[in-house]
A and B are shown apart, each in its own frame.
Chain A
Amino acid sequence: MELEEELTPFVVFNLGPLQVTNTVVHTWIIMIIVSIVFIILGKNLKVRPTRFQNALEWVMETIDHLIRDMIPEQPRLFLPIVGTLTIFITSANLGGLIPGLKSPTTDLNTPLALAIVVFFSVHYYGIRRKGLLGHLKHYVEPIFILLPIEVASELARTMSLTFRLFGNILGEEIVIAVLFLILPVLIPVPMMLFSIFTSVIQAYVFTLLTVVYISGAVEAHK
C-alpha cells in the first residue's frame, strides 16, 4: 500500500551496528539548514537591527517572555533548553512541507526522544533547585497516599507529550497524503497551508508544557 510505505521509516544505511533510518537523515538535513540559517543571521549583529535580526530577536524575546511569566526566579537558566526545543520542533514540523523531506516528528521515536529529554531535565532542574530530598518531598505532599498518582501522572505526562506531537503531525501528513492520492494538483494546498498553522501551534504547545512542567518542579513551596 502506498500510504503505508510513505509513513513508515526505512533503513537507509548501516553505521556499524546502528541502523540509520530515513528519519535520522531528514533530521540531519533539517539540522544543517537550521544551523546555516542561524549562523548567517547571527554573524554580524548590530545595535540597530536589520530586518532578519529583528525576526531573530522576536523569536528569542517571545520564548524569553514565556519562561519569565511562568518562572520568575532565574528565568535565563532555562532559555537554552526551551529555546532549542522550540526551534527544533518548529523546523522539524515545517520541514515536512519541503518536497522530498519528511517531518522527523512523524516517526514516533523523535517525539519520544524529545519527551524523554523533557522528563529528565524536569528532574534535573528540580533536584538542582531544591536538592534531592526537597524534590522528592514534592511527591508526598500534601499526604503520602497521593504518591502512586503523582508517579503515574509523571509517566502519563511523558506519554501524552509524545503522542500529542506525533499524532498531530502524523494526522496532518496522512490527510495530505490521502488528498495527494486523490488528485495531486491544487487539492492538498489548503491542507498544507493549514499544516503550517498546526506545526507552529504544536511546537508552541510542546514548549509551553515543558515550561509548565519545569516550573512545577522548581517553584518554591510556601
Chain B
Amino acid sequence: MDWVNFPWDKAFIILTVLISGLGIVVGVITPAIGQMIVASKALNAIARQPEAGDMINRVVIISLAMLESLAIYILAVILILLFANPLRDFILGELVG
C-alpha cells in the first residue's frame, strides 16, 4: 500500500463523520436509559403517593435536565468536531504536509 500518497485529508474527514455518527448514537442512548429509569421510578412514586406529586415532579424535572445535558455535551463536542475542529489545521497542515 502506498502510504506516502495516501489521501489523509479525505480519510480524516471520513473518520470525523464516522466518529460523529457513532458518538451521537452512544451519547443519546446512555442518557436515554438514565432518563427512562428516572421517569419510571417517578411514576411509581407518584402512583404510590399522589399527594407528594408536586415535590416529586420538581426533582424529576431537575434530574431529567441534568441527564439531558449529558446528551447535549455530546452534541456540542460533535458540532465542534464537524464544523470547528481546532485540530483540523494541525492535522491536515503539519502532519500530512
Q: Are B69 and A4 in contact (CB under 8 A)?
A: no
CB–CB B58/A167 < 8 A? no
Instruction: Please tell me if the beta carbons of B65 and A209 are within 8 angstroms of each other in the complex.
Output: yes
Quick one: closest B residue to A70, CB to CB? B58
Distance (whole angstroms) from the CB of B23 to the closest CB of chain A:
14
Residues of the A chain whose Cβ atoms lie less than 8 Å from the Cβ of B62? 205, 208-209, 212
Which residues of the other chain, B, contact A171 by a CB distance below 8 angstroms?
72, 75
Select one of B61, B69, B79, B83 contacting A164, CB under 8 A.
B69
Which residues from chain A contact B68 at a C-beta distance below 8 Å? 164, 168
Q: Say yes or no for A160: interface residue by CB 8 A criterion.
A: yes
In which size bucket is the chain A interface?
Answer: 10 to 19
Which A residues are in CB contact (< 8 Å) with B73? 163, 167
User: With A4-B83, A171-B75, A208-B58 given, is the CB distance from A163 to B69 under 8 Å?
Assistant: yes
A162–B75 Cα gap in the complex (Å)?
13
Q: Which residue of A lies closest to B58 (CB)?
A: A208
Q: Is there an interface contact between A168 and B72, defined as CB atoms closer than 8 Å?
A: yes
With contacts A163-B69, A168-B68 taken as known, whether A205 is within 8 angstroms of B76 at the C-beta atoms is no
Taken together as a complex, chains A and B put the C-alpha atoms of A205 and B62 apart, in Å, by 7
On chain B, the residues within 8 Å of A168 by CB distance are 68, 72
Write out the residue numbers on chain B whose beta carbons fall within 8 Å of the beta carbon of A167.
69, 71-73, 75-76
A209 contacts across to B, CB distance below 8 A: 62, 65
A171→B75 CA distance, assembly (Å): 8
B-contact bits for A160-174, CB 8 A (1 contact / 0 none): 100110111011000
Write the B49-68 contact mask toward A (1 if CB under 8 angstroms, else 0).
Answer: 00000100010011001101
**Contact of B76 with A163 in the complex, beta carbons under 8 Å:** yes
Contacts A4-B83, A205-B65, A209-B65; is A164 near B58 (CB within 8 Å)?
no
A204 at the binding interface (Cβ < 8 Å): yes
Closest chain B residue, CB of each to CB of A7 = B83
Q: Can you name 5 extra interface pairs (CB under 8 A) apart from A163-B76, A167-B72?
A: A69-B54, A166-B76, A167-B71, A205-B62, A208-B65
